[in-house]
């Protein structure tokens, strides 16, 4: 466990005047975000309450700083005050007072004295075209990444750039993701441009509670956040199924909130929990705000999902007659074979098969039961899981779809296709 000398989180909360009720409420929100049954709220509260301040080292390389902005500007007081403020941020160049050699020495010292005990967060891509493209304190980003990531208990790569190079991979520095620079390290990728800080905090909470990382998909993204198709959670889905689409920006359909598929929405080919967790303290998300999803949390989305207003291709008719369930199944079917070949977790495979079964039942007009709630490592929760604690609330949107419905790796998208 990541214990360092100092106060417990519970002591810290008391000092800050955070009530027990507010703390338990936060733990409940985290359990829902993690797609855990509500019964886990108590376990999370007990674990977080007794944990001593874990050290966090946040290193930033080539990006726009949007991921730091995303987490620092989180308006959610529970998130900001209960978890982020209680971490011992030993290094974050954007917010720390120290600078230069003094700051670098602090990072190096923490790595040395807390080897294997601290958490690392990496933001931004690491240049592969030459060490001179990104140096900090005279050291290359590659060198620093190796030092910080290989000695960490676990690393969270936040945002598209830290995951797979993001937009930076197409620039002169040919940026790479952390997992490519430090292969074999224990890394969780929180894709997105930027990351949704609610998911990053949820990973931290999970790790501090269960002393392990949450279940991951084949891209090392947490299944609780990337396990379900956006299309299956979208409030405009009924319009898709009814064949009612926005034809032009600002038309009557747009004003009425019709489906954005024809405007290039990548929701049928992308997985993420933004329809449920949402953004800006749960205020809204892109599709609700009237813009198509561009699949910003999908692999290499800048290339694979461009042009952002191009339609997801090769849909054999769409709307009420051929739904995106059918589209998704084609992708999922191919992916399931690939997963079997690579021996990827039976849990994930099981979810794919459940999805197929549910879709088949749905097509035959049979009732489809809610997906079971997941517990740690993708197992059912301690209460047996009634499904009610799904991040989506009623469980219905989590229709057994899977992160493996991603188009990019298993089914590379044609340039300009938008992927499918
Ligand atoms: Fe929602 Fe996009 Fe799917 Fe339409 S295509 S239902 S807007 S996710
Ligand atoms: Fe990104 Fe699409 Fe969500 S663009 S923020 S994955 S709706």
Locus of tokens 């810290």: 12
Q: Which numbered atom of ligand 2 lies nearest the CA of 286? A: 7
Give residue 321's pLDDT: 43
Strands 126-127 and 175-176: antiparallel
Average pLDDT over residues 189-210: 92
Q: What is the pTM of this model?
A: 0.73
Whether the ω angle into residue 95 lies within 30 degrees of 0, i.e. cis, is no
Residue 197 exposure: Cα atoms within 13 Å on the Cβ side: 21
Looking at residue 7, its pLDDT comes to: 66
Mean pLDDT of 76-89: 59
d(CA 269, CA 420): 5
Closest ligand 1 atom, residue 245 Cα: 4
Ranges 20-24, 136-140, 171-175, 295-299: which has the least confidence: 20-24
Are the C-beta atoms of 240 and 206 separated by less than 8 Å? no
CA–centroid distance, 237 to ligand 1, in Å, is: 6
Rounded average pLDDT over 295-305? 94
Confidence of residue 377 (pLDDT cuts 50, 70, 90): very low
Residues with CB under 6 A from ligand 1: 230-231, 234, 236-237, 240, 259-261, 265, 267-268, 287, 293
- Does pLDDT of 417 surpass 90? no
DSSP-derived secondary structure for 89-115? EEEETTT-S--HHHHHHHHHHHHHHTT
- Tell me what the mean pLDDT of segment 146-171 comes to: 97
For the cut 90, the answer to whether the pLDDT of residue 4 exceeds it is no
Q: Which residues of 46-80 are buried (b: 16+ CB within 10 A; e: fewer)?
A: ebbbebbbbbbbbbbbbbbebbbebbeebebebbb
Distances in Å between the Cα of 369 and the Cα atoms of 97, 325, 387 are: 53, 16, 10
Query: Under the phi-then-psi rule, with left for phi > 0, alpha for psi from -120 to 50, and beta for the rest, what region is 374?
Result: beta
- Integer distance in angstroms from the first to the last C-alpha of the chain? 41
pLDDT band at 30 (very low <50, low <70, confident <90, very high): confident
139 has which bridge partners? 136
Q: Which two tokens stand for residue 60?
A: 């930033």
Say if residue 379's pLDDT is above 90.
no
Is residue 273 classed as helix, strand or coil in its secondary structure?
coil
CA of 397 to the centre of ligand 1 (A): 13
| 249: its two tokens | 């920006």
**Nearest atom (ligand 2) to Cα of 285:** 7
Q: Are 70 and 195 in contact (CB under 8 A)?
A: yes
Distance CA 378, CA 420 (A): 26
pLDDT at 102: 78
Angstrom distance (rounded) from CA 259 to CA 83: 37
**Chain-centre distance for alpha carbon 268:** 17
- For 360-401, give the secondary structure using H, E and C: HHHHCCCCCCCCCCCCHHHCCCCCCCCCCCCCCCCCCCCCCC
Residue 243 CB-density burial (10 A; 0-12 exposed, 13-18 middle, 19+ buried): middle
* CA separation for the pair 211, 293 (Å, rounded): 34
pLDDT level of residue 137 (50, 70, 90 thresholds): confident
User: Which helix (H) or strand (E) is 127 found in, with range?
Assistant: strand 126-127
Q: What is the mean pLDDT of the chain?
A: 75
Nearest ligand 1 atom, CA 230: 8
Expressed in angstroms and rounded, the spacing between residue 408 Cα and the centre of ligand 1 is 19
Q: Give 91's strand partners.
A: 57
Distance from residue 268's CA to the centre of ligand 1 (Å): 7
Q: 3-state DSSP call for residue 290?
A: coil
pLDDT band at 187 (very low <50, low <70, confident <90, very high): very high
Query: Which of 42-46, 279-283, 381-385 holds the top average pLDDT?
Result: 42-46
Residue 194 CB partners (closer than 8 Å, separation 6+): 66, 67, 69, 70, 158, 159
Q: Token pair 């699949």 is at which residue?
A: 295
């Amino acid at each position: 466990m990541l214990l360092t000398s100092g106060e417990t989180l519970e002591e810290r909360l008391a000092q800050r005047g955070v009530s027990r009720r507010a703390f338990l409420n936060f733990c409940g929100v985290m359990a829902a975000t993690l797609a855990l049954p509500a019964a886990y709220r108590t376990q999370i509260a007990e674990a977080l309450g007794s944990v001593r301040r874990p050290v966090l080292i946040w290193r930033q390389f080539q990006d726009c700083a949007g991921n730091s902005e995303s987490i620092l500007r989180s308006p959610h007081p529970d998130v900001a005050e209960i978890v982020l403020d209680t971490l011992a941020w030993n290094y974050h160049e954007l917010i720390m007072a120290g600078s230069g050699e003094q700051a670098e020495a602090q990072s190096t010292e923490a790595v040395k004295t807390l080897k294997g005990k601290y958490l690392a967060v990496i933001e931004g891509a690491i240049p592969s075209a030459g060490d001179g493209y990104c140096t900090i304190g005279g050291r290359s980003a590659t060198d620093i990444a190796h030092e910080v990531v290989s000695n960490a208990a676990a690393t969270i790569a936040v945002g598209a750039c830290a995951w797979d190079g993001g937009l930076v991979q197409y620039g002169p520095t040919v940026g790479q993701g952390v997992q490519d620079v430090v292969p074999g390290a224990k890394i969780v990728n929180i894709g997105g441009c930027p990351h949704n800080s609610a998911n990053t905090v949820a990973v931290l909470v999970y790790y501090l509670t269960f002393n392990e990382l949450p279940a991951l998909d084949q891209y090392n993204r947490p299944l609780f956040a990337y396990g379900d198709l956006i299309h299956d959670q979208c409030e405009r889905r009924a319009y898709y199924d009814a064949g009612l689409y926005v034809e032009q920006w600002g038309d009557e359909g747009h004003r009425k909130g019709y489906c954005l598929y024809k405007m290039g929405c990548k929701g049928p080919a992308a997985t993420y929990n933004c329809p449920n967790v949402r953004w800006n303290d749960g205020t809204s998300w892109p599709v609700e705000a009237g813009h198509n999803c561009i699949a910003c949390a999908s692999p290499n989305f800048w290339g694979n999902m461009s042009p952002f207003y191009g339609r997801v291709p090769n849909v054999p008719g769409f709307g009420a007659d051929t739904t995106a369930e059918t589209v998704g199944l084609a992708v999922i079917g191919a992916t399931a074979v690939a997963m079997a070949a690579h021996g990827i977790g039976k849990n994930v495979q099981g979810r794919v098969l459940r999805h197929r079964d549910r879709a088949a039942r749905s097509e035959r007009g049979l009732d489809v039961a809610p997906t079971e709630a997941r517990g740690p490592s993708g197992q059912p929760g301690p209460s047996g899981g009634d499904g009610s604690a799904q991040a989506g609330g009623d469980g219905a949107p989590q229709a057994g779809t899977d992160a493996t419905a991603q188009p990019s790796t298993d089914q590379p998208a044609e340039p300009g296709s938008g992927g499918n």
